[in-house]
Structure 1
């Protein structure tokens, strides 16, 4: 069982950043209560108000999958579909040695 770190870089469509911010905030609370969620932090760029970044740490891949299958995650994706210009997801592993 290996911990998984994920960053999700989400950019709002022009003029939709306020709406997107509100929808992103809604998913934080329910996600933090999920089994296997070690850390789930929503950040916003200080340089570009359209850019938001989730920093996530999960116990394992099963925890990530449970999150992706959750009702609140599916609702968040539906609610933000028309608000997002781009979305980049990175699964990270530490460099050792």
Structure 2
């Protein structure tokens, strides 16, 4: 499984535009084959920061996502929407277990 955690600091003046694009990206991404979870959220400490949590079945699903029209459009628009450098961390997971709380 491939897991990504991405952090995007949004330009406050372009926040609404960015959130609209992110909502569209998320909806289309969740429908992709091999997508386990695609969850963008706003940070509770800073509403101008969006964090993405993404889980893919495998490398092929991750690569396919990066080639979709909706991802390409988002990636092209992203530089004009940011207030700083994004941070993206990729994890390759061999196993994962759900914990009971």
TM-score range, shorter chain: 0.7 to 0.9
| Corresponding residue for residue 62 of structure 1 | 60
> Quick check: 1:23–1:80 contact (8 Å CA) kept in 2?
no
**The structure with more strand, counted as a fraction of residues:** 1
- Which SS does the other structure have where 2:8 is aligned? strand
- Which SS does the other structure have where 1:26 is aligned? helix
Between stretches 63-72 and 76-85, larger displacement belongs to 76-85
> Quick check: 1:35–1:63 contact (8 Å CA) kept in 2?
yes
Selected match of 2:32 from 31, 34, 41: 34
- Which SS does the other structure have where 1:57 is aligned? strand
Q: Structure 1 stretches of 5 or more lacking a match?
A: none
Taking the aligned partners of 1:77 and 1:93, their CA distance within structure 2 comes to 22
TM-score of the pair, normalised by structure 2: 0.83
Taking the aligned partners of 2:67 and 2:93, their CA distance within structure 1 comes to 26
> Quick check: 1:13–1:84 contact (8 Å CA) kept in 2?
yes
> Quick check: 2:2–2:93 contact (8 Å CA) kept in 1?
no
1:17: how far off?
1.8
1:84 aligns with 2:82: yes
Root mean square deviation of aligned Cα: 1.8
Taking the aligned partners of 1:38 and 1:51, their CA distance within structure 2 comes to 23
